[in-house]
Amino acid sequence: MNFFLQPLTLLTFFPLVGVLILFFIPREQKDTIRWIALIVSLITFGLSLWVLAMFNRADPNLQLVARYNWITVADWNIQYFLGVDGLSILLVLLTSFLTPISILSTWTAVEERVKDFMIFFLLLEIGMMGVFLAQDLFLFYIFWEFTLVPMYFLIGIWGGPRRIYAAIKFFLYTMAGSILMLLAILWLGINGGTFSVPDLLGADIDPATQMWLFLAFAAAFAIKVPMWPLHSWLPDAHVEAPTAGSVILAGVMLKLGTYGFLRFNIPLFPEASVQAAPWIALLATIGIIYGAAVSYAQGDVKKLVAYSSVSHLGFVMLGLFALNSQGVQGAILQMINHGLSTGALFLLVGMIYEQTHTRELNVYGGLWKITPVFGTIMLIAALSSMGLPGLNGFVGEFTILLGAFGSQAINNPWFAGVSALGVIMAAVYILFMFQKMFLGPQGEVVEEAEHHGRGLRDLNWREIAIMVPILILIFWIGLYPRPFFELMAPAVDQLVGSISGVAIR
């Protein structure tokens, strides 16, 4: 088949079409630029649905593979190798789903340098999509590092007051981890004779080396997740980033880290994974509790949501390293859930910020009466984030806790037990936030807005249109998660099966 007509190649690089068109649009025509970016990202979403339609749920292996030799000189053996399976299909969909939503959310929020913004945003989508689809370590690394560049610009140019600091911190922090991974990738590529992941599976690497390689990969991914205690870049980046940037950062980019563990660490280094599982579980549990506690202490709404990510991603890590089917399935679903609910929260916070220009919890209050639609949607997003049964968060967290509780690899039910406290703590900080903003006496912001003669308005149609697709998914996953589990189950079972073989040996 023609190189560019491979479904996955098309899906990955389609946003580039938008970038090329945007180059030739004069920068003054902001609306044209916005529409082009939106339409291109919607077509990309359509392409991902097309990929989903072709996806065979029963097959646990890589599908729709696009594989070509890329650099094959001497003993270099690097391939252009894209593929999708049950582990990545949902994340691919999440990426292409959140991108148009984020672009739509910038309609009025981004007025400066719209052209540059959209170009960086579409480039970012290419990078993220590539990470989820690349099955060759070299190709993966290129996409992985590439995501840093547009995100760096998004934070640094369109961010808040401390944007430059946050952008550089984000960049250096994440790069610090990934360069160690680069060395491990080279070691694997040289000693394994190939960079393609499926060919490297089952390579016989002695346990000590395996542990080093595991740690080098883990350094990159743990920073990205971020796992406690490597999370300190996250609040800065999330808070300073523009709303659309925060949505993508929390919704997709953090999953690059957890996905990395799932795709590379666990299958490539099964013995080291089993060995490391209790330690990762420990860090994950600390992260869950710590993230929740720190969230509660925040006076800034965006920071509160940012820290809640540390807690939620702790659940994902706990589920992954339960190394059993329930844990891993729950973890994958929770990656999607977090993308939806935290994405929704960042969007909502961004919408109110656009009107009030403050995120201080103290000055809010009593918004429910003035903006009921906003309040209702916020309530649903908040309840989804804290894991209310019937909404998506509950399904993920519950499955993870079940998995972690019965996990042979972690082999200690206490981690699951303590983590369960995190669910309760989530209820505390989320409800605290909601109460401060929407209930009680009217806060200063209301007067302030009236003082300026316009008052606070409720969500407009564009903003509701942004939220509705997310809300539909929140309810869908909460009430009927089976189709989602079915997509990933065969691949997860195959992965878990290969690990349990190792554990017995």
Choosing from 10, 16, 52, 168, the residue that interacts with other proteins (CB under 8 A) is 168
Choosing from 19, 36, 148, 437, the residue that interacts with other proteins (CB under 8 A) is 148
Smallest distance, other proteins to C-beta of residue 279, A? 22
Choosing from 16, 25, 109, 142, the residue that interacts with other proteins (CB under 8 A) is 142
Could you tell me which stretch among 36-44, 136-144, 363-371, 436-444 binds other proteins (CB under 8 A)?
A: 136-144
- Please report whether residue 49 would count as binding other proteins according to CB under 8 A: no
Cα end-to-end span (Å), the chain: 42
- Please report whether residue 13 would count as binding other proteins according to CB under 8 A: no
Smallest distance, other proteins to C-beta of residue 481, A? 37
Which DSSP string do the residues of 189-216 spell out, in sequence order? HHHHS--BHHHHTT----HHHHHHHHHH
Q: Which is nearer to other proteins, 96 or 147 (CB)?
A: 147
Please say whether the beta carbons of 7 and 47 come within 8 A.
Answer: yes
Smallest distance, other proteins to C-beta of residue 149, A? 7
Reduced 3-state DSSP string for 298-360: CCEHHHHHHHHHHHHHHHHHHHHCCCCHHHHHHHHHHHHHHHHHHHHHHHHHHHHHHHHCCCE
Q: Collapse the DSSP code of 389 into the 3-class scheme (helix H, G, I; strand E, B; otherwise coil) and give the result.
A: coil
Under the phi-then-psi rule, with left for phi > 0, alpha for psi from -120 to 50, and beta for the rest, what region is 136? beta
Strand partners, 81: 67
- Please report whether residue 388 would count as binding other proteins according to CB under 8 A: no
Count of other CB atoms within 10 angstroms of residue 468: 11
- Please report whether residue 217 would count as binding other proteins according to CB under 8 A: no
Smallest distance, other proteins to C-beta of residue 249, A? 18
- Please report whether residue 171 would count as binding other proteins according to CB under 8 A: yes
- Please report whether residue 163 would count as binding other proteins according to CB under 8 A: yes
- Cβ neighbourhood burial of 66 (10 Å; 0-12, 13-18, 19+): buried
Tell me the two tokens of residue 471. 């809300």
Query: Which H or E element spans position 240?
Result: helix 233-240
- Please report whether residue 76 would count as binding other proteins according to CB under 8 A: yes
Could you tell me which stretch among 138-146, 238-246, 286-294, 371-379 binds other proteins (CB under 8 A)?
A: 138-146
- Please report whether residue 393 would count as binding other proteins according to CB under 8 A: no
Tell me the two tokens of residue 85. 């399976």
Query: Which H or E element spans position 432?
Result: helix 413-438
Instruction: Kindly report whether the peptide bond that precedes residue 15 is cis, defined as omega within 30 degrees of 0.
Output: no
Smallest distance, other proteins to C-beta of residue 381, A? 32
Choosing from 1, 5, 53, 73, the residue that interacts with other proteins (CB under 8 A) is 73
Choosing from 97, 153, 315, 364, the residue that interacts with other proteins (CB under 8 A) is 153
Q: Which is nearer to other proteins, 180 or 379 (CB)?
A: 180
- Please report whether residue 20 would count as binding other proteins according to CB under 8 A: no
Which residue is associated with the tokens 């990395």? 260
Give dist(CA 456, CA 372) in Å, integer: 11
Residues in binding contact with other proteins, number by CB under 8 A: 36
Torsion on CA atoms 56, 59, 63, 67, rounded to nearest 10: -160
Count of other CB atoms within 10 angstroms of residue 229: 11
- Please report whether residue 182 would count as binding other proteins according to CB under 8 A: yes
Give dist(CA 388, CA 423) in Å, integer: 9
- Please report whether residue 176 would count as binding other proteins according to CB under 8 A: yes
Q: Count of residues for the chain?
A: 505
- Please report whether residue 145 would count as binding other proteins according to CB under 8 A: yes
- Please report whether residue 138 would count as binding other proteins according to CB under 8 A: yes
Site for other proteins in 114-133 (CB under 8 A): 116
Choosing from 18, 86, 100, 156, the residue that interacts with other proteins (CB under 8 A) is 156
Q: Which is nearer to other proteins, 212 or 368 (CB)?
A: 212
Q: Name the residue type at position 310.
A: V
Q: Which is nearer to other proteins, 165 or 475 (CB)?
A: 165
Smallest distance, other proteins to C-beta of residue 30, A? 15
Smallest distance, other proteins to C-beta of residue 71, A? 5
Tell me the two tokens of residue 316. 């994902």
- Please report whether residue 472 would count as binding other proteins according to CB under 8 A: no
| The dihedral sign for the CA sequence 153, 304, 251, 42 | negative
- Please report whether residue 149 would count as binding other proteins according to CB under 8 A: yes
Which residues contribute to the site for other proteins (CB under 8 A)?
70-74, 76, 113, 116, 138, 141-143, 145-146, 148-149, 152-153, 156-157, 163-164, 167-168, 171-172, 175-176, 179-180, 182-183, 186-187, 189-190
